[in-house]
Amino acid sequence: MKAHMITYGCQMNEYDTHTVQSQLVSLGADMVHSVDEADFVLINTCAIRGRPVNKVRSLLGDLRKLKTRRPIVVGMMGCLAQLQEGQDMAEEYGVDVLIGPGSLLEIGRVLENNEKFWALNFRDELHDHIPPPPPQGTLQAHLTIMRGCDHHCTYCIVPQTRGPQVSRHPDSILRELDTLLAAGVQEVTLLGQNVNAYGFDQGARMAGLPTFADLLRLVGRTGIRRVKFTTSHPMNFTEDVAMAMADTPAICEFIHLPMQSGSNRVLRRMAREYTREQYLQHIADIRKHLPNAVLSTDVIVGFPGETEEDFQQTLDLYDEVGYDQAFMFIYSARPGTPSHKHFEDLPKELKTERLGRLVELQKQWSQRRNAALVGSAQEVLLRGDAVTEGFLEGHTRGNHPVVVPKALGADAAGVYTARIEHATPHMMYGKLLDAHGQELPELPKLTPEAAAMTNPLQMA
């Protein structure tokens, strides 16, 4: 079988894709790079908003046409596959394989079945499954520490798609981390729908499991160079998490803490279980222990019933916190959620106008925060070539995107120090430094003639 996977959605989906790809390869499948090469196409879907759902629908339409021209097996996995909406879509477009987020290890049975195969159960063995490590030399990796969510925000479909929260045992987490370290990983991101609630499944403290703050300390002492985590829920955030970040050098001074709205009235309608005042206390705790913390957030604009006064409170909270980065979305009604069932949506034009104002405010704060780092030396994980020839791209410990010119003594990927020389709201530009803080000489720019001389094809 020649298999090709297409992934939509969050980092958890990327982790799940790696798990399934590893299963397919271990069973003899050959992973290929395009739909044209494949006889099995598997789509890892997202259902959190309407846009990724529409993308899947469009792709399934194209694959249905392809099936009329040649034999091909089409599969769906992920959150949308778990929902009735996705199952109806699968029937409509003739999907052959349907696998929910809790049944990833069932993928092997796809190779054994010539008929339609659906697996939508939540399986306990998934929580301790350790996928094979990434290729040697991989610098970044994700590591799932828990699955599911016990909160029931009125707009969110995740509890229906991924089930109740189940925390993974730290021994299993550390064993997987060992495989990542052996592969050369230098930065790992711990994943969970709500990492702050780690160890407290279905509202009860799980015997033998540490708190999330203590888990951070455990992971940070393994020798991994950089540790990040996402996503945090303010309801379960504790000051001890900020303290663990401050006293564990490997934990990056970056925290993503979704606020969703600055209005208590809207937060209640969202069933977020915290107030604006409690959220700001968390920010104060973070700043107390991590004065230079980089803060990121999520915001939903135009939630049903949001007034101009409610939205202004969100803008005011932005100015009070001064976020470095943010993910901002127009509210998207999802079938099966309480907000879709009970609340009337706002006009799209109104939501779009408010989003525009919020984006503009965020750009101002991002510019201000990024400009403050000009002249500083930052640890940068370089991932490889940038879009612009002669440059490398990477990111700081605070998740700031950085572009630097190629320099003598620097490989295409690795961890380096860069002096930031210029910043925009979305990007920083710098120069690589040596161990003594001196600027590394840039690689000479090749003339077209010299470039041709180094190209064996052109020389031939």
Q: What ranges make up the beta strands (E) of 8-70?
A: 30-31, 40-45
pLDDT, tens digit, 9 for 90 and up, residues 169-193? 999 999 999 999 999 999 999 999 9
CATH of the domain at 213: 3.80.30.20
Q: Is residue 27 located within the same domain as residue 129?
A: no
CATH of the domain at 115: 3.40.50.12160
pLDDT, tens digit, 9 for 90 and up, residues 379-434? 999 999 999 999 999 999 999 999 999 998 887 889 999 999 999 999 999 999 99
Q: Which candidate, 243, 354, 246, places its Cα nearest to that of 307?
A: 354
| 28-54 average pLDDT score | 94
Give the percent of the chain with pLDDT over 70.
Answer: 95
pLDDT, tens digit, 9 for 90 and up, residues 285-344? 999 999 999 999 999 999 999 999 999 999 999 999 999 999 999 999 999 899 999 999
pLDDT of 448 higher than 70 = no
Which residues participate in the annotated binding site for [4Fe-4S] cluster?
10, 46, 79, 149, 153, 156
- Domain endpoint, select from 312, 338, 368: 368
Q: Is residue 79 located within the same domain as residue 185?
A: no
Element (H, E) at 391: strand 391-396
- Domain endpoint, select from 319, 334, 368: 368
CA distance 118 to 110: 9
Q: Provide the mean pLDDT of the chain.
A: 92
Sequence-distant (≥ 6) Cβ neighbours of residue 443 within 8 angstroms: 390, 405, 406, 407, 408
Q: Sorting pLDDT into bands at 50, 70 and 90, what band is 460?
A: very low
| 63-80 average pLDDT score | 94
CA distance 281 to 290: 14
Q: Is residue 247 located within the same domain as residue 360?
A: yes
Q: What is the model's pLDDT at position 456?
A: 34
pLDDT, tens digit, 9 for 90 and up, residues 270-284? 999 999 999 999 999
Q: Is residue 179 located within the same domain as residue 231?
A: yes
Q: Is residue 316 located within the same domain as residue 397?
A: no
Q: Is residue 358 located within the same domain as residue 229?
A: yes
Which residues participate in the annotated binding site?
10, 46, 79, 149, 153, 156
Q: Is residue 32 located within the same domain as residue 180?
A: no
CA distance 263 to 86: 33
Q: What is the model's pLDDT at position 450?
A: 42
Q: What ranges make up the beta strands (E) of 17-96?
A: 30-31, 40-45, 73-78
CA distance 268 to 304: 12
pTM of the predicted model, to two decimals? 0.91
Q: Sorting pLDDT into bands at 50, 70 and 90, what band is 26?
A: confident
Print the domain residue range for 192: 125-368
Q: What is the model's pLDDT at position 221?
A: 97
Q: What is the model's pLDDT at position 105?
A: 87
Q: Is residue 112 located within the same domain as residue 132?
A: no
- b vs e for 77-106, b when ≥16 Cβ sit within 10 Å of the residue's Cβ? bbbbbbbebbbebbeebebbbbbbbbbbbb
Q: What is the model's pLDDT at position 202?
A: 87
Q: Which candidate, 304, 15, 338, places its Cα nearest to that of 151?
A: 338
Please spell the DSSP secondary structure of 318-362, one letter per residue.
HHHH--SEEEEEE----TTSHHHHHSPPPPHHHHHHHHHHHHHHH
Q: Sorting pLDDT into bands at 50, 70 and 90, what band is 134?
A: confident
Q: Is residue 243 located within the same domain as residue 135?
A: yes
Match 């945090």 to its residue by tokens.
232
* Amino acid of residue 13: N
pLDDT of 457 higher than 80 = no
Q: Is residue 383 located within the same domain as residue 289?
A: no
Q: Is residue 60 located within the same domain as residue 154?
A: no
Q: How many domains does the chain have?
A: 3
pLDDT, tens digit, 9 for 90 and up, residues 98-120? 999 988 888 887 767 656 788 88
Q: Is residue 130 located within the same domain as residue 118?
A: no
CB 402 within 8 Å of CB 418: yes
- Domain endpoint, select from 344, 368, 392: 368
